[in-house]
C-alpha cells in the first residue's frame, strides 16, 4: 500500500465530504450552514490541490483542474461570507444562498474529482 495514495485519497474524499456537509440544508437558513465547516472545506481543498501538484499524468492534470475550480468557488464563498458577516451582522437569505451556491459549485468539482479517483483506482492493475 502506498502512503502517498492513501493521503491523496484521504484529502480528495475529505474535501468532498466537508463541502457536502456545508452545502447540505436549506440555502435560505444560515443556521444550517456552519462557517467553521466552510473554512475547513477551503483548507482541506487547498491541501488537496497542493498534493495534486506532483502528479504529471493526464488524469493528474484533470484532478488538478477540478481542485482549482473547487478552490476558486470556495475562496469566493469565504470572501462573500467574511465581507457580509463582518461587524457581527447576520447573513441575509440572499447572501446565504449565494454562499451555499458557490459551495455547490465547489461540491460539483469535488464530485468529479472523486469519480476520477474511483475510475483511476478501478483501472489500476497490479504488476
Higher pLDDT, 124 or 21: 21
| pLDDT tens-digit readout, 77-99 | 999 999 988 877 788 889 999 99
Domain ranges of the chain: 3-122
The 3-state DSSP class for residue 34 equals: coil
Tell me: pLDDT of 124 over 80. no
CB 115, CB 72: distance < 8 Å: no
The 3-state DSSP class for residue 95 equals: helix
| pLDDT tens-digit readout, 21-49 | 999 988 888 888 889 999 999 999 999 99
Return the H-helix or E-strand segment holding 85. helix 58-85
Cβ neighbour number for residue 2 with a 10 Å cutoff: 8
The 3-state DSSP class for residue 92 equals: coil
Grid cell for residue 64: 488538478
The 3-state DSSP class for residue 54 equals: coil
CB 19, CB 110: distance < 8 Å: yes
CB 17, CB 44: distance < 8 Å: no
Amino acid at each position: 500500500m502506498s502512503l502517498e495514495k492513501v493521503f491523496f485519497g484521504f484529502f480528495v474524499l475529505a474535501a468532498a465530504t466537508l463541502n457536502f456537509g456545508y452545502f447540505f440544508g436549506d440555502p435560505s437558513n444560515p443556521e444550517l450552514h456552519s462557517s467553521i465547516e466552510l473554512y475547513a472545506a477551503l483548507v482541506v481543498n487547498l491541501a488537496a490541490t497542493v498534493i495534486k501538484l506532483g502528479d504529471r499524468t493526464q488524469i493528474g492534470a484533470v484532478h488538478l483542474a477540478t481542485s482549482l475550480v473547487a478552490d476558486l468557488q470556495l475562496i469566493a464563498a469565504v470572501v462573500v461570507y467574511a465581507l457580509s458577516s463582518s461587524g457581527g451582522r447576520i447573513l441575509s437569505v440572499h447572501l446565504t444562498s449565494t454562499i451555499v451556491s458557490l459551495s455547490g459549485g465547489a461540491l460539483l468539482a469535488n464530485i468529479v474529482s472523486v469519480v476520477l479517483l474511483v475510475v483511476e483506482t478501478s483501472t489500476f492493475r497490479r504488476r
